């Protein structure tokens, strides 16, 4: 490619007399042949693009600032670094919290027991977890539906058969499915942590209906989920003190994993990409120097014809 | 340098073999290096570091 470039405009690229540069740029420009109308059109498109971009940016900013809810502070998660993996002990504890607390109302229908294998549980443990639930299966040979213990391939059970049943049992509020909740909420795991630990009595002037609780991190402030995490509300298998913030942190880490099961692989991929891109950049730089060396060291002489 | 050129790079057939072969070893090396780097940075957090407790 460098050779082609050199053939087409080699002498122009080599000259470095300042006064000639403008002239050369002028010679390379394609805008010279434009009519006035075309120039105006291009200018209008440019101004419109810039203006619309600025407007969208401004609107986005003002939306961020509106509303009365408190934005969650950034927490120093052990997985928030560029190449930091999830803390799998924490994910495992978070599964315990989900199973014993959250799953009473929240479904997690996109996560199967097989997903736990090699992440938080061994295969035998995951099988044991799955066998703890009953799954409606069928039809069998006689056409009947039957209940059987869960298998690795079964998804986590839902507490309610459908959304209507969930609403009827929760004052009309629908407990959202938690599979992808960290990706589905502004603030991600910071929001989950702040929400779970942010309950307090409603300030004067805030009217709550029956079955509602006050949480400043929840948009609107009135949340239908009561505070569920208290110190020692469950006991961890590994003996970690189950304080409220520990429970919230672990379950938020677990929900981060369910939302982004590829998290660790993705972070590892960053290292590979940086490595290979560094290598390719070095090669590209070398080849550029190599190919241009002939052109850059070329000298042109004027040899007068001898009579 | 000349030996390398004459035996490996001169003919397209050998050049192609060199490309494919070196790509294989380069990728293996990069994979192993980045994986061990990742695992040393995240020591204690990964499943392989905690699974001995549950087996």
What is the rounded distance in angstroms from the CA atom of residue A42 to the CA atom of residue A55?
20
Percent of chain A with pLDDT over 70: 90
Both tokens of A296, joined, read 């850059």
Q: Are A261 and A141 in contact (CB under 8 A)?
A: no
Residue A197 lies in a domain: yes
Q: Do B54 and A238 touch (CB under 8 A)?
A: no
| pLDDT recorded at residue A80 | 94
Residue A4 lies in a domain: no
Q: Is the pLDDT of residue B18 over 70?
A: yes
Q: What is the ipTM of this complex?
A: 0.86
| pLDDT recorded at residue A3 | 61
Taking the CA atoms of residue A176, residue A182, residue A185 and residue A188 in that order, the dihedral angle to the nearest 10 degrees is: 150
User: How many domains does chain B divide into?
Assistant: 1
Domain with B33 in it: 1-53
Rg (CA), chain A: 32
Q: Is the pLDDT of residue B31 over 90?
A: yes
Domain with A239 in it: 88-111+155-264
Rg (CA), chain B: 20
The CATH number assigned to the domain holding B28 equals 1.20.5.260
Query: pLDDT digit string (tens) for A112-131?
Result: 999 999 999 999 999 999 99
Residue A137 lies in a domain: no
Residues of B with CB under 8 A from a CB of A: 30-31, 33-35, 37-38, 41-42, 45-47, 49-51, 53-55
B34 contact residues in A (CB cutoff 8 A): 268, 271-272, 275
Segments in chain A below pLDDT 50? none
Residue A7 lies in a domain: no
| pLDDT recorded at residue A61 | 74
User: How many domains does chain A divide into?
Assistant: 1
Both tokens of A116, joined, read 């736990």
Q: Do A264 and B30 touch (CB under 8 A)?
A: no
Of the candidates A87, A125, A271, the beta carbon closest to that of B38 is on A271
Both tokens of A240, joined, read 């970690």
| pLDDT recorded at residue A68 | 78
Of the candidates A88, A238, A276, the beta carbon closest to that of B45 is on A88
Helix (H) or strand (E) holding A287: helix A263-296
Residue A238 lies in a domain: yes
Beta bridge partners of A222: A214
Q: Which of B19, B40, B47 to mutate to test the interface with A (most CBs of A within 10 A)?
A: B47
Residue A133 lies in a domain: no
**pTM, 2 dp:** 0.80
Q: Do A271 and B53 touch (CB under 8 A)?
A: no
The CATH number assigned to the domain holding A233 equals 1.10.760.10
Q: Do B50 and A78 touch (CB under 8 A)?
A: no
Q: Is A112 helix (H, G, I), strand (E, B) or coil?
A: strand
Helix (H) or strand (E) holding A222: strand A222-223
Q: Which residues of A are annotated as a binding site for heme c?
A: 102, 105-106, 225
Residue A11 lies in a domain: no
């Amino acid at each position: 490619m460098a050779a082609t470039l050199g053939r087409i405009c080699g002498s122009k690229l080599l000259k470095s007399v300042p006064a000639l540069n403008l002239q050369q740029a002028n010679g390379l420009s394609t805008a010279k042949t434009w009519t006035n109308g075309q120039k105006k059109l291009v200018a209008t498109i440019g101004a419109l693009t810039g203006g619309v971009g600025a407007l969208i940016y401004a609107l986005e900013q003002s939306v961020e600032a509106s509303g009365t809810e408190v934005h969650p502070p950034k927490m120093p998660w052990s997985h928030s670094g560029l190449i930091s993996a999830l803390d799998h002990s924490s994910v495992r504890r978070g599964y315990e919290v989900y199973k014993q607390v959250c799953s009473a109302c929240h479904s997690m229908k996109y996560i199967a027991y097989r997903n736990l294998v090699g992440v938080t549980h061994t295969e035998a443990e995951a099988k044991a977890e799955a066998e703890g639930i009953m799954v409606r299966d069928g039809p069998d040979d006689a056409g009947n539906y039957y209940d059987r213990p869960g298998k690795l391939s079964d998804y986590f059970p839902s507490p309610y058969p459908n959304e209507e049943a969930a609403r009827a049992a929760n004052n009309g509020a629908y407990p959202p499915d938690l599979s992808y909740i960290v990706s589905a909420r502004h603030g991600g795991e910071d929001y989950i942590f702040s929400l779970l630990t942010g309950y307090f009595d409603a300030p004067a002037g805030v009217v709550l209906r029956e079955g509602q609780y006050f949480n400043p991190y929840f948009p609107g402030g009135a949340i239908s989920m009561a505070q569920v995490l208290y110190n020692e509300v469950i006991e961890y298998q590994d003996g970690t003190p189950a304080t409220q913030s520990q429970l919230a942190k672990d379950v938020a880490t677990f929900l981060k994993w369910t939302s982004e099961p590829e998290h660790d692989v993705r972070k590892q991929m960053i290292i590979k990409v940086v490595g290979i891109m560094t290598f390719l950049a070095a090669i590209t730089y070398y080849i550029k120097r190599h190919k241009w060396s002939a052109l850059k060291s070329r000298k042109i002489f004027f040899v007068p014809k001898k009579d | 340098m000349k030996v390398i050129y004459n035996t490996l790079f001169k003919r397209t057939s050998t050049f192609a073999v060199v490309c494919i072969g070196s790509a294989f070893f380069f990728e293996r090396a990069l994979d192993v290096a980045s994986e061990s780097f990742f695992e040393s940075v995240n020591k204690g957090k990964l499943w392989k570091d905690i699974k001995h407790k549950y087996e």
